């Protein structure tokens, strides 16, 4: 008896974009697969991009992590001061996202916050189970990288708004700028702002950025790239 051999689909070639490795997959993979790939490849940050493409970025530089931790610390103190409202997540907090046209992503911003209303609207299993969040956060912070193109950074931030984010900050310590994204408005770019407000989304939040700009200047003055 002859046994037919099932053809194995050929894996498409990876595409190296600016600051990101994009790998088209022959079939969709689960949240658990993404987590497993991340765990098996330390030093890489793995996300699901458009059309099931696996996107991998080298983990952040020292300045990037320092900036993220500084902002995270201030967000944590604000959250405690206002009564621990909502949920704060670091860069391991990944969200399964979808817009009205059916575009999907599984992304992990550097920092994010989920309002009590969005959190409580989920089932108990979705709130407390394993895997990714099946919702969009209200607020995200992305810390820019010197290897990313301006077009890629802006496109990512605009997609966050399409998925339902109410306020987004792109903090670029290398260029010493902050771009603020709000639904229905053009991005607002600020040069070396001393503080940022949570506006009507994170009420009473004010983040002090002065130390971040000082660290950025110190890195720029060194002969080697950080």
Dist CA 43 CA 57 (whole Å):
9
State the pLDDT at residue 11: 34
State the pLDDT at residue 12: 40
CA quadruple 110, 164, 51, 146: dihedral sign:
negative
The model's pLDDT over 167-207, given as tens digits with 9 standing for 90+, comes to 999 999 999 999 999 999 999 999 999 999 999 999 999 99
Query: Who's near 25: CB < 8 A, 6+ residues apart?
Result: 11, 12, 52, 53, 54
Closest CA to 74 of 187, 220, 204, 223: 204
User: For 198-221, what is the mean pLDDT?
Assistant: 96
User: For 105-131, what is the mean pLDDT?
Assistant: 88
Contact 190, 205 (CB under 8 A): no
């Amino acid at each position: 008896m002859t046994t037919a051999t099932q053809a194995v689909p050929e894996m498409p070639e990876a595409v190296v974009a600016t600051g990101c490795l994009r790998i088209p997959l022959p079939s969709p993979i689960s949240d658990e697969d993404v987590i497993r790939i991340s765990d098996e490849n330390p030093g890489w940050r793995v996300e699901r991009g458009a059309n099931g493409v696996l996107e991998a970025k080298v983990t952040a530089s020292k300045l990037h992590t320092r900036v993220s931790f500084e902002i995270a610390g201030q967000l944590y103190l604000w959250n405690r001061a206002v009564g621990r409202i909502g949920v704060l997540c670091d860069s391991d907090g990944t969200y399964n996202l979808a817009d009205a046209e059916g575009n999907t992503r599984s992304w992990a911003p550097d920092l994010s916050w989920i309002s009590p209303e969005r959190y409580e609207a989920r089932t108990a299993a979705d709130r407390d189970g394993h895997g990714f969040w099946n919702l969009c956060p209200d607020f995200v912070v992305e810390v820019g990288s010197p290897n990313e193109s301006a077009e890629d950074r802006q496109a990512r931030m605009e997609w966050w708004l399409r998925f339902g984010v109410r306020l987004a900050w792109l903090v670029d310590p290398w260029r010493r700028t902050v771009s603020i994204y709000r639904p229905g408005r053009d991005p607002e770019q600020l040069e070396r702002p001393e503080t940022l407000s949570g506006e009507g989304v994170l009420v009473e939040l004010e983040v002090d950025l002065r130390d971040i700009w000082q660290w950025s200047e110190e890195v720029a003055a060194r002969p080697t790239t950080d």
